[in-house]
Amino acid sequence: MSTEKNSGSDIGCFGLVCAIIAFICTWVSAIVAFPFLGFVFGWIPAIVMAFIVYVCAEIALWLMWLIILVLLVIAGILFAAGATATILA
């Protein structure tokens, strides 16, 4: 039995995958905007962006679930209102 406590920030590789995607997209954007300088120096802002995304990945995942929950609640309300209007018509 392990006595290790869970810190609550166990989101798997979500943060790492998002950070890799952010790094690639930022570097490619720098290359497109500034062909030579973007290729040579574009990795610097790309690493900064990847670090920010990695740190904030847990907040982003929480916000995504919150948005999905809110949309489901709104869809349920609209469905119930539509079903009620159909029954009463």
Q: What would the pLDDT profile of 34-54 be if each residue is shown by its tens digit?
A: 999 989 999 999 999 999 988
pLDDT of 89 above 80: no
Enumerate the domain spans of the chain.
Answer: 14-88
- Band (pLDDT 50/70/90 cuts) for residue 10 is low
pTM: 0.62
Question: Whose CA is closest to 42, among 51, 32, 52?
Answer: 32
Q: What percent of the chain has pLDDT over 90?
A: 49
Alpha-carbon span 43 to 35, nearest angstrom: 13
- Band (pLDDT 50/70/90 cuts) for residue 86 is confident
